[in-house]
């Protein structure tokens, strides 16, 4: 039986288990001996299926490792990105270090391979972080039986609880999906140590046609080291406990706001970080080209956007590979752009290169410099986000003055760094 069939079989057993629990609760009664026997049988079945899934995944991993060995010993064309190569293995990319260890590069559409240990056969996708928080605070786990079974959290500091990775995984992936730089194409990888040295292309090579017997002009390609250093990003949010107890929509609100908060923290680090005690954001990189545009007329804005796109097209980047990110201040300016006849740009009259480019609005682009609104153009697959430790989430009712104010504190901690490894593939247009 293949993995797909095993997962379908497991889902069927899990649904049957939940249906029995739901029926007992709706009848407001205890579990009958017959139902208890059925529940035990289903749980044993789920654990047996999980063992079969683990075995099947082990066989697949062995096959992948065999394929990796073949590919590693076969000459390939690779782009230099670290102290080694970034290999394109079909649709899977890896960072290969000099010692032979490797880390996979994950795109926005790929789920990071963070081990999901599961508890009692329950996996992350079956759980709700919001339900977990409400049950933890109120002690009422009705409708959150699965969350209750994994509620044996690890004690944290200040009397708090470290959320089990099985539940935290859901928030980690939700945050990645909301991170604009990742949606634009940035790649994520697991750092092998607190500091890693990568190569950064500072000047592209120049190739000449040289007649036979003539001297070859030396290329001006330059590569310099860049250090990924794990830096801590953290946030603490407090939620009134009565609100958790009484608000009907608090579960969805908690999940949405925390995932957005984590995503915005990563976006800020990658885009606006100063490099002093925090990652060096694109806007703070001195080796990325810049153009200043002062008070452009509405009929000139689109032309400048096309110019920004061509800064990268001149680097032989296809327009479809280019993304641009800007804040809402410039978004308003762009929405007022008109063509030569005074008509607003729409789906039918925008330049081809502009239409091919992906566009994202984010409030994490710093525009404090004299009222400027930076627009960042880039092939964001050349922006790499190193993760030293996955996000950890902890709760406490005694942190700070939370106990006195009857509030729950939720702490999020993340360690990592980000760097554009080919600065020439980014350009900043500062509109003022």
Residue closest to 137 by CA, chosen among 359, 382, 409, 415: 409
pTM: 0.70
Distance between CA 203 and CA 215 in Å, rounded?
22
Residues 56-86 have pLDDT tens digits of 766 665 555 555 544 444 333 333 333 344 4
Residue 50, token pair as written in the block: 């999980």
Residues 128-165 have pLDDT tens digits of 778 888 887 888 888 877 777 776 644 444 445 667 66
Specify the pLDDT at position 383.
92
Residue closest to 272 by CA, chosen among 373, 376, 366: 366
Specify the pLDDT at position 86.
44
CA dihedral 308, 226, 267, 354 (to 10 degrees): 20
Residues 231-266 have pLDDT tens digits of 888 877 888 888 888 888 887 888 888 888 888 889
Distances, alpha carbon 325 to alpha carbons 360, 375, 380, 429, in Å: 5, 6, 10, 11
Cα 159–chain centre separation: 30
Q: Are 426 and 420 in contact (CB under 8 A)?
A: yes
Give the chain's domains with CATH numbers. 1-75 (1.20.58), 116-190+230-432 (3.90.1690)
Of all residues in the chain, what percent carry a pLDDT higher than 90?
A: 14
Residue closest to 219 by CA, chosen among 210, 230, 232: 210
Specify the pLDDT at position 340.
81
Distance between CA 293 and CA 335 in Å, rounded?
17
Report the chain's C-alpha Rg in angstroms: 26
Distance between CA 123 and CA 118 in Å, rounded?
5
Specify the pLDDT at position 379.
94
Block means of pLDDT (10 residues each) for the chain, length 432 residues? 76 82 81 85 82 70 52 37 41 75 82 66 72 80 78 50 69 85 91 83 72 73 80 82 83 82 89 88 91 86 90 90 91 86 78 90 76 88 84 74 82 86 91 84
Which residues pair with residue 222 across a beta bridge? 203
How far apart are the two ends of the chain, measured CA to CA in Å? 62
Specify the pLDDT at position 220.
64
Residue closest to 146 by CA, chosen among 6, 36, 11, 18: 18
């Amino acid at each position: 039986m293949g993995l797909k069939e095993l997962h379908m079989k497991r889902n069927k057993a899990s649904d049957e288990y939940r249906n029995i629990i739901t029926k007992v609760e709706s009848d407001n009664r205890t579990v009958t001996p017959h139902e208890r026997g059925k529940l035990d049988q289903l749980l044993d079945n789920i654990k047996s299926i999980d063992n079969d899934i683990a075995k099947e995944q082990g066989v697949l991993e062995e096959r992948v490792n065999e394929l990796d060995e073949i590919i590693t010993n076969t000459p390939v064309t690779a782009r230099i990105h670290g102290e080694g190569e970034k290999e394109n293995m079909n649709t899977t990319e890896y960072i290969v270090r000099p010692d032979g260890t490797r880390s996979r590069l994950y795109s926005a559409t790929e789920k990071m391979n963070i081990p999901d240990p599961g508890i009692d056969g329950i996996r992350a996708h079956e759980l709700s972080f919001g339900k977990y928080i409400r049950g933890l605070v109120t002690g009422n786990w009705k409708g959150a039986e699965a969350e209750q079974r994994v509620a044996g959290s690890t004690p944290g500091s200040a009397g708090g609880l470290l959320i089990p990775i099985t539940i935290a995984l859901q928030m980690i992936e939700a945050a990645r999906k909301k991170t604009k730089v990742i949606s634009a194409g940035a790649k994520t990888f697991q750092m092998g140590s607190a500091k890693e040295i990568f190569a950064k292309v500072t000047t592209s090579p120049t190739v000449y046609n040289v007649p036979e017997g003539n001297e070859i002009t030396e290329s001006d390609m330059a590569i310099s080291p860049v250090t990924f250093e794990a830096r801590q990003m953290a946030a603490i949010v407090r939620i009134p406990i009565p609100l958790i107890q009484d608000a009907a929509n608090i579960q969805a609100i908690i999940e949405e706001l925390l995932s957005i908060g984590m995503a915005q923290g990563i976006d800020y680090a990658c885009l606006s970080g100063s490099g002093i005690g925090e990652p060096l954001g694109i806007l703070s990189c001195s080796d990325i080209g810049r153009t200043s545009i002062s008070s452009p007329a509405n009929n000139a804005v689109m032309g400048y956007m096309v110019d920004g796109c061509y800064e990268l097209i001149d680097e032989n980047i296809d327009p479809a590979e280019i993304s641009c990110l800007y804040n809402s201040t410039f978004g308003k300016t762009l929405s007022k752009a008109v063509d030569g006849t005074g008509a607003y740009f729409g789906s039918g009259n925008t330049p081809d290169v502009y239409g091919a480019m992906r566009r994202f609005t984010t409030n994490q682009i710093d525009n404090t410099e004299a009222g400027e609104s930076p627009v960042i153009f880039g092939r964001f697959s050349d922006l790499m986000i190193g993760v030293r430790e996955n996000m950890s989430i902890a709760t406490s009712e005694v942190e700070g003055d939370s106990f006195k104010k009857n509030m729950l504190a939720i702490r999020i901690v993340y360690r990592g760094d980000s760097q554009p490894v080919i600065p020439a593939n980014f350009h900043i247009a500062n509109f003022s």
